[in-house]
Structure 1
Amino acid sequence: MDRPHHKFWPQRLPRAITVPATSLWHNLATSAARYPTKAALVFFGRTISYRELVDQAERLAGTLQALGVQRGDRVVLDMQNCPQLVIAHFAILRANAVVVPVNPMNRAEELKHYIVDPDAKVAFTTGDLAAELAKASNALEPAQRLAHLIVTQFTDAFDADVSGDEAPAPAWRDWLLARHPLPALDGGEAMHWQDALDAGHVPPPHTVGADDMALLPYTSGTTGLPKGCVHHHSSLMHNAVASQLWGSVSHEAVVLAVVPMFHITGVVSMMHTAIYAGATLVVMPRWDREVAGRLISLRKVTSWTNIPTMVIDLMGSPNFASFDLSSLMYIGGGGAAMPQAVAQRLFEQYGLRYQEGYGLTETAAPSHAQPFENPKQQCLGIPFMSSDSRVVDPDTLRELPPGESGEIITCGPEVFQGYWKRPDATAAAFVDFEGKRYFRTGDMGRVDEDGYFFMTDRLKRMINASGFKVWPAEVELLMFKNPAIQEACVIATKDAYRGESVKAIVVLRPTHRDTTEQQIIDWCRENMAVYKTPRQVQFVDALPKSGAGKVMWRLLQEKEESAA
C-alpha cells in the first residue's frame, strides 16, 4: 500500500530489501576475504587491516570457548571506542555468544545490574575501567560474580610516542598512556588482552544464524532498572545493510567513529554498516573538536555520524577555518534536534545537508531517516526501508490524521524481539495494528501531509542530555542509596549547550539536615555515570503527592519549565 512519503522515496533505492540470512560474523569474514590488506581500523596513526581484524577476533573467540563461553552465553563489553572494542565485539559473535554493550561511564553500583541480569560470567574492559568492574563483581553473591575479566590497555592498539595531526589530545595522554595493573577478581581470574590473544585456542565452529540473539543492549524506562533488548542477528543485519544503501557507503568510505560504540547508533549505523561495506573506521575514544577536525582533514573522512552538539562544538573551534571538510559526503545523526542556523551554515559553506534521523535501542537505531534528495529540517524523517510507522491516540490506538499529535508506533524487521526476562514489559511494548505487530515507541509525534514525522513530546519520562538518554527513575533509584536522602524526584532543566540537564529535587532525612547540594552532587558522581549526575540539586521539605501517594513529577517539571 502506498503511503504519503513514498512520493519522496529516493528513486535509487527499493522500499524494502532482502538481507543476508547469515550471522553478522559473516560480514566481517566476507570483507576480510575481499579486502584483506585494506585498513579496517585506524587509531592514532596505527592501522589494523581486515585480515588482522578477523585473525585477532578468531583468536579471542578460541580463548572465549576455552573459558567456558558457549552458544548463546552473554559476554559484557565495557569500553570506550578503541580497536579492541571492535575486535572483542566480533570475537564474541564468532564464539556464537551475545554481546552485552555497557556504557563505560557507569559506576560499580550501576555495573552490578549488567553482570547479574544477563547472567554474564566473562567481560572485556580497558585498564582504566577494570577496577570499577571488578569492584561491582566482587560486591555480588559468589554465584553471581564474573569468572573471567579480559583487560586491555589503550596502548595495546597504538604507539605511545605518536605525534603530529594523528596524536591524541594533550588532555588525553595521561589517560590513554597509563598502564593499569590487573584488578583482583574475587572467585575469578583477570587476564591481560595479549595473553588472551596468544593463548593459541582454536575457535569453535560458527553455528549461529540470523535467528539467534546477537546483541543485548540495555535501555532504561519509566520505572526500575534498565531492561535488556533482545536483538537477533537479523534485526541488526537489516539496519546495517539498509544504512549502507541509504547512505551510499561503499568500500571506499572512510568513517569517523566518534559516536560511542556501546550505543546502538554506534554499534549498528556506524560499526556494523562500515564492516558490512568493507569501509575504514577512523576511531576516536571520545569527543575532542580539534582531534576530530584534524582527522577529517588528514584521513579524508567521507562519512560522519554524530550528535548535533559535536557539530556545533567543531564549528565553534578557533581553528575551524583551517579544517578541510571537503571530503565529507554524509553528515547526520540524531539524539537531539539540529539547530536550523547551524544546519544552514553547513549547507552554505560545504553544500552538506545535515541528515537527521530517529530510532531507539529497541529499533536497532534508525526506524526513520531523511531522504537525501528531499530532507526536512528538525524532522525525524520518513519510515526506514521495509518499515512502517503511524501516529495513534495512545489510549484508544486510533490512527490520527496529519497534524495531530499522538504516539509513534513502528513495525519492521529492525524491531527487537522483546525485553530480556521481562515478558510483562514485552507485552506492554507491542500492539496489534492492522494485523501486524507494532512497537510502541513512547514518543509523541505528528506526521505532516507528506508523511514526514516530527517529534512533539515524550510520553515516557526521559531527559535528553546532549543525546544521552537519562531516565529519572533509574537516577532516583540510585540516589535512594544515599543515607542523607529521604526522597528524590528527578526532572529536566534547560541547558543552553546540552539541551537538557538533570535536576534533583530532594527531601533530606532529619538526621542529615546539614548536607549540602554539592555533597549530593559529589556523591552522585561517585555512584553513577557522569551524564546522569544532577547538575542542580534543590532541597524541599516535601514532594507533592497524588491521592494514591505517587510523587507528582509532572507538576514539578511544569514548574521548572515555567520558571525557565
Structure 2
Amino acid sequence: MSIYDEKVWLAQYSPAQRQPRTIEYDNALAMFDATVERNPDGDIIRYFDGRITARELDELSDAFAAGITDAGFRPGERVVIYAQNIPQFVIAQLGTWKAGGTAVSANPMYRARELEEILRDSGATVLVALQSLYKDVAENVVGSTGVRTVITTSELDFQSANSGTLAGAERVDCPGTIDLVTMLERFRETPVPPVDVGPDTVAFLTYTSGTTGPPKGAMTTHRNVAFNAQTYRDWIGIDADDVILGVAPLFHITGLVGHIALSLLTGAPLVLMYRMDPEATVETIQQQRVTFTVGSITVFIALMNSENSSREALQSLTKICSGGAPIPPSTLAAFEEKFGHYIHNIYGLTETTSPSHCVPFGTRAPVDELTGATSVGVPVYDTVVRIVDDNGNDLPPGEIGELVTAGPQVVAGYWNKPEATAKSIPNGVLHTGDVGYMDADGWFYIIDRKKDQINASGYKVWPREVEDVLYEHDAVREAAVVGVPDSYRGETVKAFVSLRPGSSATPEELIAFTKERLATYKCPREVEIIAEIPKTATGKLLRRELRTVPEP
C-alpha cells in the first residue's frame, strides 16, 4: 500500500469507510423505483404549498416519457431542460430517462448564443423551457438547431400560493409549443415502452467550460449518479426522515446529485423555491423543518445577512455542506456562532459527479497556517486522489501539485470530444487542473487553479469567452479578463480594456454590453480601461501581471 492509499484510508477515520462499498443500484431509475415501492405516498417534492408524492412523481414522469415518445423521441436522444428550480425539472429528467434518453441541463441564465451552442453540441431533439425563457431567448434560436419538439411550462404550476420568489410571476403564451401540464394530463394513463437503461448509459450531459474553445458536455453515467447519491446518503447520514432544501441550481451537478438524486434514492422530500432568496429561504427552512442542504458559501453568507435569520429559524438545519468556492475560516466561525451549526466543506467537479472529497461529519476541517485555506476534506468512499507533478509523478505529503482523481464517480468522458477526453480523463482517471496538496494526516487543500478559469460563487467562467464578447464592441482594441478576490463570491470577474484610437467607451457601457450577450455571472463587475494590455514577446496575454495591477 502506497503512502497515498494509507493516508487516504487513515483520514476516513471509520473502519467501515476503509472498505470498498457495495453499490446498491446500478442505475438511477432503479434507486427511484425502490423508493416508490418503499414509500409511495410520502412527499418527494415540496414546492411552496404544492406536494408531489413518490407515486405521483412516478406517474408524472411516465406521462412525460410517453408524451415525448409520441412526439417522435427515441432512446439515445437528448432532452435539454432550461428552467429554474421547479418540479417540472425533476419530472422531465426522470421522464427522459424512462424514455431511454439523456437529460441535458442548461443554465437558465444563458442567453441566445450560449443556449444555441448547447443545443447544437448536444444534438438535442427536445427542449423543455420555462415560458419566459422560451419567449425571451429560446424562440429565436431553436429553429437553427436540431430540436424537433419544444415543451414549455410555467413556474406557477404545481402550486397555488404564488408567494415568495413567485410573487408577480405571470404566465406567458407560447404558440407552437406543447404545454407541459397539458401533455402530462393527456398521457397520464399511456403505457411507457420498456427501455434498456444500464450502469453505463449516459444519464446527464452536464456542460463545463473547457481550457480552450466551447463548453464540453461531461457524460455522467447512471453508475456515476447512483454511486454519488449513495455517497451523499452514507457520508452525511441522510434518510427518509430528512428534508432536503434545494438551494443549489438544479442545472448544476451539485443540484442534480446532491438534491435530486439524493431525494430519489432516500425518499427525503426535496423542497424547491424557484430561485434562492435569503428571506424566503429562512422562512422555508423554518416552515419545512429542513435538515440538510448543500450549496455555495455565498448562500450561507446571504442567510447570515438576512434580516429574518435567527438561531431558532435555522434550528433544524443540522446537516450542511458547502462547495464550489473557497470557504474562509472566519465565515465558518461566524455561521456557527450565529446558528450553532458547522458547515462541512465538500469538493468535487462536474467530472466527478459532485463530491470527490468531503469533511467527515463529526469532525472539523483543519486550516492551512501558511495560506489560510480551509481543507476540502478527505477522499470519499472508493476514491483515490493523488498529487502529481507536471510529469505525472506522485508527490509526497506537503508538496504542491495537481489533483488526479480515480473512482466510480469519474465521468465517462466528454460528449463527442475524444481528444479532450484522452487529455483530461486518460484511462478513466481525471486530471482536475486544480492545484493543491495533501498534508501528513491525509487532509487535502486546494490552493490554486492550473489554468486561468475564474470561479465566481461556484460558477465557472472562462476568460476568453468574456474577452470575445468585449471584442465585439466597436470601441474595444484589446481585452483581457481575470478573476480577482471578492469577499462575497470568492472571486469575481474583472476586465482590462484598451480602446481603439479615436473611440470612447465607459466601464459602465462595456459592462452593460456584456450583460446583453452573456449570463450575468460571466459579466465583469469591474472594467478598467488602460493604455496597453501587457503581453509577452509572442503576444500572449500576461494575466498574472493584470491581477497585480495597482489601482490608478
TM-score of the pair, normalised by structure 1: 0.91
2:186 counterpart SS class: coil
What is the match of residue 367 of structure 1? 356
User: Which of 369, 378, 390 does residue 382 from structure 1 map onto?
Assistant: 378
Counterpart Cα distance in 2 of 1:498 and 1:134: 29
Q: Comparing 236-245 with 10-19, which one deviates more in the overlay?
A: 10-19
Counterpart Cα distance in 2 of 1:554 and 1:420: 32
Counterpart Cα distance in 2 of 1:139 and 1:206: 29
Structure 2: where are the runs of 5+ without partners? 367-373
Aligned amino acid, residue 508 of structure 1? L
Counterpart Cα distance in 1 of 2:25 and 2:287: 38
1:423 to partner: Cα distance: 1.3
What is the match of residue 32 of structure 2? 28
User: Which of 500, 504, 507 does residue 514 from structure 1 map onto?
Assistant: 504
What is the match of residue 66 of structure 2? 62
Counterpart Cα distance in 1 of 2:15 and 2:521: 40
1:18-417 correspondence to structure 2 within 5 Å: 18-138=22-142, 140=144, 144-160=145-161, 167-169=163-165, 172-174=166-168, 177-182=169-174, 189-200=176-187, 201-321=190-310, 323-348=312-337, 350-377=339-366, 378-393=374-389, 395-417=390-412
1:80 to partner: Cα distance: 0.6
What is the match of residue 186 of structure 1? none
Counterpart Cα distance in 2 of 1:33 and 1:225: 42
Counterpart Cα distance in 1 of 2:15 and 2:255: 25
What is the match of residue 164 of structure 1? none
User: Which of 471, 485, 490 does residue 494 from structure 1 map onto?
Assistant: 485
1:268 to partner: Cα distance: 0.7
1:113 to partner: Cα distance: 0.4
- Residues 109/58 of structure 1: CA separation in 2 closer, same or farther (3 Å cut): same
Counterpart Cα distance in 2 of 1:211 and 1:21: 12
Does the aligned pair in 2 maintain the 1:101–1:216 contact within 8 Å?
A: yes
Does the aligned pair in 2 maintain the 1:10–1:373 contact within 8 Å?
A: no
Sequence identity percentage: 36
Does the aligned pair in 1 maintain the 2:471–2:477 contact within 8 Å?
A: yes
Aligned amino acid, residue 199 of structure 1? R
- Residues 232/82 of structure 1: CA separation in 2 closer, same or farther (3 Å cut): same
- Residues 264/124 of structure 1: CA separation in 2 closer, same or farther (3 Å cut): same
Does the aligned pair in 2 maintain the 1:13–1:246 contact within 8 Å?
A: no
- Residues 121/485 of structure 1: CA separation in 2 closer, same or farther (3 Å cut): farther
1:206 to partner: Cα distance: 2.7
Does the aligned pair in 2 maintain the 1:109–1:136 contact within 8 Å?
A: no
Counterpart Cα distance in 2 of 1:457 and 1:488: 23
Aligned amino acid, residue 179 of structure 2? H
Counterpart Cα distance in 1 of 2:273 and 2:131: 17
User: Which of 448, 467, 471 does residue 457 from structure 1 map onto?
Assistant: 448
Counterpart Cα distance in 2 of 1:168 and 1:540: 44
User: Which of 7, 10, 14 does residue 10 from structure 2 map onto?
Assistant: 7
Q: Comparing 359-368 with 329-338, which one deviates more in the overlay?
A: 329-338
- Residues 12/182 of structure 1: CA separation in 2 closer, same or farther (3 Å cut): farther
* Matching of residue 422 in structure 1 with residue 380 in structure 2: no
1:139 to partner: Cα distance: 6.4
Q: Comparing 328-337 with 411-420, which one deviates more in the overlay?
A: 328-337
After superposition, give the CA deviation of every residue in 1:286-307 in whole Å (9 maximum; x if it has no partner).
2211111111111111112121
Q: Comparing 205-214 with 369-378, which one deviates more in the overlay?
A: 369-378
Aligned amino acid, residue 499 of structure 1? G
After superposition, give the CA deviation of every residue in 1:427-469 in whole Å (9 maximum; x if it has no partner).
111357xxxx521100000110001100111102121212222
Aligned amino acid, residue 392 of structure 1? V
Counterpart Cα distance in 2 of 1:292 and 1:13: 36
1:34 to partner: Cα distance: 1.5
- Residues 343/80 of structure 1: CA separation in 2 closer, same or farther (3 Å cut): same
What is the match of residue 551 of structure 1? 541
Q: Comparing 281-290 with 88-97, which one deviates more in the overlay?
A: 281-290
Counterpart Cα distance in 1 of 2:469 and 2:230: 39
Q: Comparing 339-348 with 411-420, which one deviates more in the overlay?
A: 339-348
TM-score of the pair, normalised by structure 2: 0.93
Counterpart Cα distance in 1 of 2:92 and 2:386: 38
2:420 counterpart SS class: helix
Aligned amino acid, residue 190 of structure 1? T
Does the aligned pair in 2 maintain the 1:5–1:451 contact within 8 Å?
A: yes
1:541 to partner: Cα distance: 3.6
1:409 to partner: Cα distance: 0.6
Counterpart Cα distance in 2 of 1:73 and 1:554: 43
1:100 counterpart SS class: strand
Q: Comparing 83-92 with 481-490, which one deviates more in the overlay?
A: 481-490
Does the aligned pair in 1 maintain the 2:475–2:504 contact within 8 Å?
A: no
Counterpart Cα distance in 1 of 2:327 and 2:339: 16
Counterpart Cα distance in 2 of 1:507 and 1:139: 37
Does the aligned pair in 2 maintain the 1:507–1:542 contact within 8 Å?
A: yes
Does the aligned pair in 2 maintain the 1:137–1:145 contact within 8 Å?
A: no
Counterpart Cα distance in 2 of 1:400 and 1:322: 44
Measured on the aligned residues, the alpha-carbon RMSD in Å equals 2.0
2:167 counterpart SS class: helix
- Residues 197/403 of structure 1: CA separation in 2 closer, same or farther (3 Å cut): same
What is the match of residue 542 of structure 1? 532
After superposition, give the CA deviation of every residue in 1:248-278 in whole Å (9 maximum; x if it has no partner).
1101110111111100011012210121011
1:155 counterpart SS class: coil
- Residues 321/138 of structure 1: CA separation in 2 closer, same or farther (3 Å cut): closer
Does the aligned pair in 1 maintain the 2:310–2:339 contact within 8 Å?
A: no
- Residues 411/347 of structure 1: CA separation in 2 closer, same or farther (3 Å cut): same
Counterpart Cα distance in 2 of 1:197 and 1:95: 14
1:329 to partner: Cα distance: 2.6
After superposition, give the CA deviation of every residue in 1:277-331 in whole Å (9 maximum; x if it has no partner).
1110111222211111111111111112121121122122232237422222301
